[in-house]
Amino acid sequence: MAKAKFEEDQKVRILSDENGAKGKIGTITDTDLGSDYEYYVETEDGDEDWYKASDLTVAVKTLGTLEVGDVLVYSSTYGGDTEYSVEGVAGNVVFVTEDDSHESVETYTVQELESEGKWTVKGAAEAEVTELTLDEVAKLAGVDVSKLRIKE
């Protein structure tokens, strides 16, 4: 049996425009690795359809891809984290509340959240780091290691 590229309940972004869903975020709800269309995806607006693995990519949550219902975490310089619920997104403006009352809404731009450096998306996957030796990089590039120079 083929190894699944994606798993059920995994968040994905749709790359294909075949069903008019390009760019939408969805959740894998079923898999059929024996067919051309391997993954059944339900988008956050309720659309459902089958997609090929090549039509999908992992949906990585960032401050720039916030959606209603996401949880932001503010890490204070003085210790302690505070969670905020995303109540709305309009372009680059994010509306958040600190508690479940939804009475007090604060607004931030995505740029403010990113530049402050203290905001993260709860549950967002950390970027995977790949470490390579110079010998490994030279082998991948097909050059002699003595002829390899790495620039920043």
Question: Within 10 Å of residue 91's Cβ, how many Cβ atoms?
Answer: 7
- Indicate whether 23 belongs to any domain: yes
Domain identity same for 80 and 128: yes
Task: Categorize the per-residue pLDDT at 3 as very low, low, confident or very high, splitting at 50, 70 and 90.
Answer: low
What's the DSSP call for residue 43? E
CA distance 128 to 94: 27
80: Cβ–Cβ under 8 A, 6 or more apart, which residues?
A: none
Domain extent at residue 16: 11-58
Could you tell me if 89 and 141 lie in one domain? yes
For the chain, how far is it from start to end, CA to CA, in angstroms?
Answer: 43
Q: Which amino acid is at 17?
A: D
70 with 36, same domain?
no
Pairing of strands 56-58, 71-75: unpaired
Q: Are residues 121 and 66 in the same domain?
A: yes
In a domain, 152, yes or no: no
Radius of gyration from C-alpha coordinates of the chain: 20
Dist CA 43 CA 25 (whole Å): 6
Contacts of 77 (CB under 8 A, 6+ apart): 118
Does residue 145 register a pLDDT over 70?
A: yes
Residues 30-87 pLDDT 10s:
988 777 778 899 988 888 888 888 888 878 778 888 888 888 999 988 888 889 999 9
Interatomic CA distance for residues 10 and 107, integer angstroms = 29
Q: pLDDT tens digits for 87-130?
A: 988 989 999 998 766 677 899 999 999 998 899 988 776 655 67
C-alpha pair distances (Å), 105 with each of 52, 67, 94: 40, 15, 10
Number of domains making up the chain? 2
- What CATH number should be reported for the domain holding residue 76? 2.30.30
